[in-house]
Amino acid sequence: MLYYSLAALGLTLATASTAIASTLPITEVAPPVSRRWLRDDKVRGVNLGSLFIVEEWLAKDEWASMGCKGVYDEWSCVKKLGQEAADAAFEKHWKSWVSKSDIDEIVSYGLNTIRIPVGFWIKEDLVYSDEYYPRGGLKYLDRVVGWASDAGLYVIMDLHGGPGSQAPNEEFTGRSTAVPGFFTDANYERALKFLEWMTERIHTNNAYRTVGMLEIINEPIKRRVNATNADDMQKRFYPAAWDRIRNREKKLGIAKKDLLHIQYMGSNWGSGHPEKYLTDTTFLYFDDHVYWKFDTRSGKNKTSYINATCSLYRPEADVIVGEFSLSVASALQNTPEFAIQGHPENKAWYTDYFAAQVSIYERSGGWVFWNWKCNWINQFNDWRWCYQTAVRAGAIPKDASKVASLSPC
């Protein structure tokens, strides 16, 4: 496959790739490739959610088939089944939830990026003896990353579930708990060891050759929930994460052009300004998650949703919207104006809604839809959360690179 050594991610990459594509050799070994590699001028991607951290709401039938019905998170399922039975159940899930044909389908839709949420427990020596997490996922992570590299997809590796859980009552952390335990020296250190290890794996394992961005923690606690924890994380964990990644790269002798982009949840998330205590910001990127379903600015009708979306001004090239969906407020989703079951006339509006979001997020670095696939949401396969199903249903166009031009904004 071709590797492009480019000046910046999220800026004008198409012309550079055209100019140098013919001069670069095809190689089967890990090349000295710039980690700022992309084929297009914007990130356009999907999340592989519920692969390595299964969320019950997103995969209800799958969760039940694993024997996890009646519990909320991976911790509870492992505890319920016992370690060996849980390992077997999760292995079956990892083998089948995302296949090589999924990766091929992603590429066929004009997408260039995948974001892979993982828990710290995929590095099994970081797990304490009294913790409950599935074992054996790493070889399947290697497999899917290798498929993505072979297919030419850019990969964002996302530490989605941190030690002790970084947000309250969230199954995406792996253990839903009212009092998150991430904000301690010991758990910071476990997360830092994970980031060092993943950094080295990215730079030394050929399967990871198109992983160009490492997100240090997904959706941590917000200041309005616990300002003390959020500020402590910002002051102590954020700069330590940066330093540990860069120091590991220095130890490996990684050239500047090949350094990873390091991504933090941006200030819009509400956990503070992640760059405040950083002494270096080379290849710093931000993640933003935009769910109009939970935002009162979206209003209560189709026009207000489109207007709210189009009013979101995002000029920053270093921001990637790492999660968004087509969902609307729970009170509205089954009304005649927004329902998708029994209301085929609404499909065209959802295409407009998607195109409006895409056009705004492409004013910044780009976007990654949540999620690629799902399984039995809202008592049916609700494609407002599922890119694959939405394309097959005709709500999302098949060529992601052309969607922004369809925007009603």
**Catalytic residue positions, numbered:** 219, 323
Contact 143, 39 (CB under 8 A): no
CA-CA distance, 213 to 114, in Å (whole number)? 11
What distance in Å separates the CA atoms of residue 312 and residue 289, rounded to the nearest whole number?
A: 13
Range list of β-strands (E), 358-402: 366-369
290 phi and psi angles, rounded to 5 deg: -120, 105
Cα gap 68→77, rounded to integer Å? 5
Query: Cα torsion at 310, 313, 316, 319 (round to 10°)?
Result: -60
Backbone angles phi, psi at 261, to 5 degrees: -75, 135
Single-letter code of the amino acid located at 100: K
User: Distance from first CA to last CA of the chain, Å, rounded?
Assistant: 37
Signed CA dihedral, 8, 9, 15, 16: sign only: positive
* 322 phi and psi angles, rounded to 5 deg: -80, -10
On whether the CB atoms of residues 373 and 386 are closer than 8 A, the answer is yes
Rounded Cα distance between 187 and 236, Å, is: 12
Dihedral in degrees, nearest 10, Cα atoms 226, 232, 233, 234: 100
- Beta strands (DSSP E) in 193-318 are 211-215, 261-265, 284-290
Q: Which two tokens stand for residue 15?
A: 């012309």
Which two three-digit tokens encode residue 367? Answer: 């976007």
- Three-state DSSP state, 46: strand
269-270-275-281 Cα dihedral, nearest 10 degrees: 0
Query: Can you tell me which residue has the tokens 């993505």?
Result: 148
Chain center to CA of 39: 19
